[in-house]
Amino acid sequence: MHCNGLDHLISRRRMLLDTANALAFLTFARRGDGQVSSSNARPRGTAQACIFINLDGAPSQLDTFDPKDGPWNPADADIQQLGRGFLLSRTLFPNLSRMPGELVLLHSMNSWELIHERGQFYTQTTHPQNPAFVLESPHIGSVLAYEKGAPGPLPPFVALNSANSMPGAKFLGGTFEPFLAPAVAGGFGNLQHNYYGNNSQTRFEEKYKFLEDLDTGLRQNPYSQPISDQAEYYTAAKRMMYNPRIIPVFQFNNEENLRYGNSALGRACLVARNVIQAQAGTSFINIHAGGWDTHQSMYDINYRPNMYSLVSELDAGVGNLALDLKQSGHLASTLIVIVGEFGRTPGELNGRGGRDHHRLSMAACLIGGGVKGGQVIGQTDAVGGEVTDPGWSQDRPIYPEDLASTIYSAMGVDWTKAFTNTPSGRRFEYVPDAYKGRFTAVEEVFG
């Protein structure tokens, strides 16, 4: 997504709206029961955290989690049946193909969108990119941070490899904004300093206290939502300063980096592992992985990115992430979701050796967090173009709203919930129309 979206433009109209709704924004952070409605869904509550791996660019279902036997496959694909309806390429997925008992593959997904930016917005918010609503469409991670974020030194929503243009908390407030963290070996370079030797932390505390004193009036009576968000963000950042428990969370050694694939995605998975194992207040981690817009030369090793490089990075990063979390005992309570914004054209590759946009078939993968691994939900036709068997109780394709409902359910959140006192007065639903029963959690993934 790009920074010139409607939700990132600063204008006189936006400034007036912020100012006029300041009181509404502030009171919204503490809602009474009368301002919330739901259909009283029964969430599973099997997960304490979610790692959402966003494959930006729309990965091909046929070349990732829903492969088919056909002439479009490269000669070295080595597609193997690992269970009933469970196929993976051992060439592309050497790690994940060794752990089919941990994976749930969703083969019957559809998307509503065919444009990347709109599809990405939908994937991350479960709402259409309607200009009238973008300012009141927070990221799924912000909603979960609002609902489940535990008090701790780490922010409830951590974003890795993500751009500033990703949807944020919107009206939910600065506390629930995505915290853009580095995924590099050295971690943060500014969580502490030794400018004053042994007195460095004392001097920092004194200066921060002076800053708080100066800002007291503005913090207590902010005249706009951005001012309030900044104050909340500063407070969250302060909790990490000089904290020996937090500094190593964002660091790793070269041996680990190589094991995770020596890639940006692998390093993000490494940091995500550390964040989960730290148990320091984070409930949602967003990992952005770009490059999946494979219109051409998908299997040309001389063209980058190609499917060999893309899937190799995904497999090394996620495979080792799942393995490490399982060994540390955290996988059972951590839901890993791998998904893009839509699928790609079925059957033979196009004339440029790639695949174009396609919304009637896409695939996703779930690991951990209470899901019952070793199963495939749904089935597509022989060329991976359309859903032939939805494979779940609703007897229709699974849409982004259903996937979001499933994530909310695993995290113990009622996906039919809605707020009736938004700044504009519009009703905000966690999952649009879920309270009507139009969308719901895919209970089959839990076994």
- Give a yes or no: residue 76 inside a domain: yes
Looking at the structure, tell me whether residues 109 and 202 fall in a common domain: no
Here the tokens at position 310 are: 């893309």
Looking at the structure, tell me whether residues 285 and 411 fall in a common domain: yes
HSE on the CB side for 75, CA within 13 Å?
1
Do 131 and 170 meet the contact criterion of CB atoms below 8 Å apart?
no
Looking at the structure, tell me whether residues 89 and 117 fall in a common domain: yes
pTM of the model: 0.89
- Give a yes or no: residue 30 inside a domain: no
Model pLDDT, residue 9: 35
DSSP-based three-state secondary structure for 226: helix
Here the tokens at position 56 are: 């930006």
Q: How many domains does the chain have?
A: 2
Task: Give the integer Cα–Cα distance in Å for 194 and 353.
Answer: 55
- Give a yes or no: residue 252 inside a domain: no
Looking at the structure, tell me whether residues 182 and 77 fall in a common domain: yes
Model pLDDT, residue 35: 78
Looking at the structure, tell me whether residues 201 and 287 fall in a common domain: no
Task: Give the integer Cα–Cα distance in Å for 174 and 28.
Answer: 13
Looking at the structure, tell me whether residues 222 and 369 fall in a common domain: no
- Give a yes or no: residue 253 inside a domain: no
Beta strands, E only, 303-413 = 334-339, 343-344, 357-358, 362-368, 375-377, 379-380, 387-389
Query: pLDDT of 246-256, one tens digit each?
Result: 999 999 999 99
Looking at the structure, tell me whether residues 166 and 285 fall in a common domain: yes
Please, what's the largest Cα pairwise distance for the chain? 69
Looking at the structure, tell me whether residues 68 and 214 fall in a common domain: no
Looking at the structure, tell me whether residues 348 and 293 fall in a common domain: yes
User: How many residues can be counted in the chain?
Assistant: 447
Model pLDDT, residue 150: 76
Res. 183 pLDDT band, cuts 50 70 90:
very high
- Give a yes or no: residue 156 inside a domain: yes
Looking at the structure, tell me whether residues 375 and 324 fall in a common domain: yes
- Look up the domain containing 225 and give its range: 192-242
CATH number of domain containing 395: 3.40.720.10
Looking at the structure, tell me whether residues 180 and 204 fall in a common domain: no
Beta strands, E only, 250-291 = 284-289
Query: pLDDT of 145-162, one tens digit each?
Result: 999 987 789 999 999 999
- Give a yes or no: residue 26 inside a domain: no
Distances (CA, A) of 287 to 13, 163, 250, 265, 277: 33, 11, 14, 8, 16
- Give a yes or no: residue 80 inside a domain: yes
Contacts of 231 (CB under 8 A, 6+ apart): 174, 215, 218, 219, 222
Query: pLDDT of 35-65, one tens digit each?
Result: 788 888 999 999 999 999 999 999 999 999 9
Q: Provide the angle, in degrees to the nearest 10, between the axes of the packed helices 200-220 and 225-238.
A: 160
Query: pLDDT of 66-79, one tens digit each?
Result: 999 999 999 999 99
Residue with tokens 């979206």: 5
Looking at the structure, tell me whether residues 323 and 438 fall in a common domain: yes
- Give a yes or no: residue 285 inside a domain: yes
Q: Out of 215, 242, 269, pick the residue that ends a domain.
A: 242
Alpha carbon distance, N-terminus to C-terminus of the chain = 35
